Amino acid sequence: MTITDIRPFLAVGVSLLAAFLIMFSGKKPNVREFWSVAAAFIKAALIFSMVPAVLAGNVFEYTLFQVTDTIGFTLRTDAAGMVFACVSSFLYIPVSFYAIGYMRGHHEKEQTGFYAAFAVCLSAAIGIALSANLLTFFIFYELLTVATWPLVFHERNEEARFSGRKYLIYTLVSGQLMLAGIVAIYVMAGTLDFQAGGFLTADMAPTWVLQLLFFLMVLGGAVKAGVMPLHGWLPSAMVAPTPVSALLHAVAVVKAGAFCVLRLIGFVFGPALLAEIGAATVLAWFAAFTIIAASLIAMKQDNLKRRLAFSTVGQLSYVVLGAALLAPLSILGAYYHIVAHALMKITLFMCAGAIIVTAHKDNISDMHGIGKKMPITMACYTIASLGIAGMPFVIGFISKWNLGLGALQVGQPLYIAILIASALLSLSYLMPVTYLAFFKPNEKGEFKTYGEANKFMLIPICVTAALSVILGIMPNFGPHLYDLASMAAQSITQGWIGGGW
């Protein structure tokens, strides 16, 4: 049943409000960071307070005002949106602590603008997760685009300027094409409300028009999710400070892109229509290609953050692939991989940032023996790496297992080979770092003394690493994200028996 409740808007609004407060308290760093942390806790509390009711099959919905003459500015907490909202609102807490440690430890400039843009990004992410129609979704999607830009050019040097431009070109072009697609869909269907299983039908337009529309729309998601060949902006955006990379690559931006693809496939076009017009298969090919190619490129990177960035490109295509396979279990896997990848990749990025701040090392080749100096950080790094590769008892396994089963469900076992290849490849680019860190002697003798990262950074790292393991053993730990994901998958594929068992 539908409950009218303003809480979704409060969850979005709290960090927007925090952004304003942050802007006005730029001269008092402690007050400023207090707003950031407080917003994180309130936001998470608001979102998590809605979880039990959503699990029981209820939906919170609220229309703040009419955004155009016919379309409302509406947020709705369906299971699919709650998965993403829970992850981003929860991870906002460790990242905001980590950001304090990192930004102060690294003596960054322009911290006020950084925290404000950061808060706006999180608002936009929650808005994207909970939007009830395409126009509301698009508003938050563009807000995210704009709010991320200051984070990308944060360093304010020529490289950052260039990365910022690259980022804007990719995202704005795809955003405008998406807008044209949204208008076309509205004219065709007369509605923009998301509906599990899609609201477009084959009799609304000729097949080629639907195919064109699908690609026009998916482009918007694929760019943010870094599906090759649209991933160019993502590694460039690495010039940003590490908490931003953690946020960009684990929580807000790229996940919003992947979530966008899931929304479009599950709630706009619907698996039945897509199976009929055959457009999703092409997307699956692109995703599969990206998974392999990104891993190969990642192996060549010496800069740890860049290596992780390419790993992100590959891992997000898991989500896209899961959505494009159109099987119930693959969609479940895709939703759960949003959770899994967020936890693991945020751990990895926070480790990389901790190394930069504590040991001032960017490149993997300089990290020989660093495990002796920062054992806890590197241990967490290892756990997360194993998870990325899909090791059982770490969270990554759960999602990959479902993705593989989904591939079987639709009778496409070849994709399992891709998943296995990717697992091996990711081991081969993530594990050498662990090996170098723990087992290679440090010739220069830099890392003899024990010097762990600042506690502001270390504790968030430990928390996310521990959660990766706990959720790997008990996927329903905490807010029952696995159940939510499977509710979402079921609602999407309900009543559609294409390529089932």
Partner 1 sequence: MSQHFPVLIVLLPLSAALLSPFFSYLHRQAGKWIAILSLVGAFLCSVGLLLQVVANGGEAIHYWMGDWMPPLGIEFVVDPINGVIVTMITFVALCSAIYSTPFLKKNNWLYMGGYYTLMALLCVGLSGMTLTGDAFNLYVYLEIASLSGYGLIALGGNKGTLAAFRYLLIGTIAASLYLLALGFMYSMTGSLNMADLSVLLQDKMDSPLIIMSIALLIAAFGIKAALFPFHGWQPDAYTYSHPGAAPLISGVMSKVPAYAMLRFFFYLFGAQHLFVQHGLTVVGILGALGIILGSVMAIAQDDFRRMLAYSSVAQIGYIGVGLAIGSFYGLIGAVLHIINHAFMKGSLFMVIGGVRYRFGEVSISKLGQIGKKMPFTVFTLVVAALAMIGIPPTGGFFSKWYIMLGAMQTEQYIYVAVLVISSLLNAIYFFRVLENVFINPDPGLKELNPPTGKLELPLQMLIPIVVFGIAILALGFCNEMIVDGIIKLGLPEVFVR
User: In this chain, which of 160, 282, 293, 421 binds partner 1, going by CB under 8 A?
Assistant: 160
Please give the size of the binding site for partner 1, defined by CB under 8 A.
Answer: 31
User: In this chain, which of 176, 207, 363, 494 binds partner 1, going by CB under 8 A?
Assistant: 176
Question: Which tokens in the block code for residue 448?
Answer: 């003899």
- Does 65 interact with partner 1 (rule: CB under 8 A)? yes
Pairing of strands 2-4, 72-76: unpaired
Question: What span, in angstroms and rounded, lies between the C-alpha atoms of 15 and 40?
Answer: 7
User: In this chain, which of 34, 41, 48, 186 binds partner 1, going by CB under 8 A?
Assistant: 186
> In 10 A of CB 485, how many CB atoms?
27
- Does 292 interact with partner 1 (rule: CB under 8 A)? no
Is 386 in contact with 257 (CB distance < 8 Å)?
Answer: no
Residue 339 in 3-state DSSP?
helix
Residue placing its CB nearer to partner 1 in the complex, 25 or 454: 25
User: In this chain, which of 153, 214, 259, 482 binds partner 1, going by CB under 8 A?
Assistant: 153
The minimum distance between CB 3 and partner 1, in angstroms, equals 24
The minimum distance between CB 176 and partner 1, in angstroms, equals 5
Per-residue contact flags (x/-) with partner 1 for residues 83 to 122, judged by CB under 8 A: ----------------------------------------
Q: Say how far residue 270 (Cα) sits from the centre of its chain.
A: 22
Question: What span, in angstroms and rounded, lies between the C-alpha atoms of 36 and 363?
Answer: 31
The minimum distance between CB 106 and partner 1, in angstroms, equals 19
- Does 209 interact with partner 1 (rule: CB under 8 A)? no
Q: 119 to 138, contacts with partner 1 by CB under 8 A?
A: 138
Is 312 in contact with 384 (CB distance < 8 Å)?
Answer: no
Residue placing its CB nearer to partner 1 in the complex, 165 or 372: 165
The CA distances from residue 91 to 31, 46, 290, in Å, are 21, 14, 26
User: In this chain, which of 42, 93, 172, 421 binds partner 1, going by CB under 8 A?
Assistant: 172
For helices 455-473 and 375-389, angle between their N-to-C axes, nearest 10 degrees: 30
Residue placing its CB nearer to partner 1 in the complex, 268 or 389: 268
User: Segment contacting partner 1 (CB under 8 A): 33-41, 66-74, 304-312, 333-341?
Assistant: 66-74
Question: What span, in angstroms and rounded, lies between the C-alpha atoms of 485 and 476?
Answer: 10
The minimum distance between CB 150 and partner 1, in angstroms, equals 7
Token look-up 């521990």 returns 466
Residue placing its CB nearer to partner 1 in the complex, 139 or 293: 139
The minimum distance between CB 70 and partner 1, in angstroms, equals 9
Residue type, 87: V
In the Cβ-directed half-sphere of 265, how many Cα atoms lie within 13 Å?
Answer: 37
> Cis link prior to 243 (omega < 30° from 0)?
no
- Phi, psi of 59, rounded to the nearest 5 degrees: -135, 130
User: In this chain, which of 109, 156, 300, 360 binds partner 1, going by CB under 8 A?
Assistant: 156
- Does 440 interact with partner 1 (rule: CB under 8 A)? no
The minimum distance between CB 93 and partner 1, in angstroms, equals 27
The minimum distance between CB 381 and partner 1, in angstroms, equals 33
Is 284 in contact with 214 (CB distance < 8 Å)?
Answer: no
Per-residue contact flags (x/-) with partner 1 for residues 18 to 57, judged by CB under 8 A: -----x----------------------------------
> In 10 A of CB 427, how many CB atoms?
17
Residue placing its CB nearer to partner 1 in the complex, 63 or 281: 63
C-alpha gyration radius of the chain: 21
- Phi, psi of 227, rounded to the nearest 5 degrees: -70, 130
- Does 180 interact with partner 1 (rule: CB under 8 A)? yes
> In 10 A of CB 282, how many CB atoms?
14
The minimum distance between CB 64 and partner 1, in angstroms, equals 9
The minimum distance between CB 85 and partner 1, in angstroms, equals 20
Token look-up 């509390």 returns 45
The closest of 338, 486, 330, 493 to 418, measured between CA atoms, is: 330
- Does 318 interact with partner 1 (rule: CB under 8 A)? no
Question: What span, in angstroms and rounded, lies between the C-alpha atoms of 168 and 154?
Answer: 14
User: In this chain, which of 146, 275, 293, 416 binds partner 1, going by CB under 8 A?
Assistant: 146
Q: Where are the beta strands (DSSP E) in 72-210?
A: 72-76
Token look-up 């896209």 returns 320
- Does 204 interact with partner 1 (rule: CB under 8 A)? no
Which residues, including other chains, have CB under 8 Å from residue 282's CB and lie 6 or more apart?
A: 215
The CA distances from residue 265 to 157, 256, 455, 488, in Å, are 39, 14, 42, 12
The minimum distance between CB 142 and partner 1, in angstroms, equals 5
The minimum distance between CB 152 and partner 1, in angstroms, equals 11
User: In this chain, which of 7, 104, 106, 161 binds partner 1, going by CB under 8 A?
Assistant: 161
Residues of the shown chain interacting with partner 1 in the complex, contacts defined by CB under 8 A:
23, 65-69, 138-139, 142-143, 145-146, 149-150, 153, 156, 160-161, 164-165, 168, 172-173, 176-177, 179-180, 183-184, 186-187
